[in-house]
Chain A
Amino acid sequence: SQQGEEDPQALSIQEGENATMNCSYKTSINNLQWYRQNSGRGLVHLILIRSNEREKHSGRLRVTLDTSKKSSSLLITASRAADTASYFCATPSIQGAQKLVFGQGTRLTINP
């Protein structure tokens, strides 16, 4: 029932640079969510973007959604060391009852 897949699997950048992560999915969705997971912790919800929205902002985060390409991107601007974490997109499952399915995540490392 895998739906969303993040790309790249790992990303390492210098503090202050922008980080972009992508998520591709297979079927129509009504919303897509992004979560962050710090090492050893649970996932934390970042942004939910609905299918009729093309872009959404939250602080230094910008999420875009292109339903024609079945893809979303998460941009973190002016990255900080505290942004080091894994980032997951979550989309509705393909099979069975509608449930959220999480991708395997992008591991982001911000180097000081």
Chain B
Amino acid sequence: DAGITQSPRYKITETGRQVTLMCHQTWSHSYMFWYRQDLGHGLRLIYYSAAADITDKGEVPDGYVVSRSKTENFPLTLESATRSQTSVYFCASSESLMQTQYFGPGTRLLVL
């Protein structure tokens, strides 16, 4: 009954380090999404995935890498973190692209 979970919930890292944010859903939804939320910009789509091994770029993909080897997991990796990637990251899932999305609790990332 967990739904959609994210880990870690809070992360502090340094510029240049690699960071991976995890997302796990228990509904077997086909679609999964990564967003970042910043003041003044609202919610912006980073990457999304239609199924295992199928991913596509969103509005702000630069500096991020995703993978989806299993339907239930959708990790987001910052290969070399920058201060501009300080943000709150939300993972979401849905049955189809334009239907209801179910959001995780978010990960607050601070890059020093």
Contact = CB atoms under 8 A, between A and B. Distances in A.
Interface in A58-112: 88, 90, 92, 97-105
A103 B42 contact: yes
A30 B103 contact: no
Contacts of B103: 42-44
Interface in B49-74: 56, 58-59
A1 interface: yes
A33 B6 CA distance: 23
A20 interface: no
Given A104-B41, A104-B42, A1 B99 contact: no
Category for how many chain B residues contact A: 20 to 34
B89 to A, nearest CB: 10
Interface string B89-101: 0101000011111
A42 B98 CA distance: 18
A105 B100 CA distance: 17
Interface of B: 35, 40-43, 45, 48, 56, 58-59, 90, 92, 97-106
Interface of A: 1, 30-31, 33, 40-45, 48, 88, 90, 92, 97-105
Given A1-B59, A102-B35, 20 more contacts: A31-B98, A40-B106, A41-B105, A41-B106, A42-B92, A43-B92, A43-B103, A45-B100, A45-B101, A88-B43, A92-B98, A98-B97, A99-B97, A99-B98, A100-B101, A102-B42, A102-B43, A103-B42, A104-B41, A105-B42
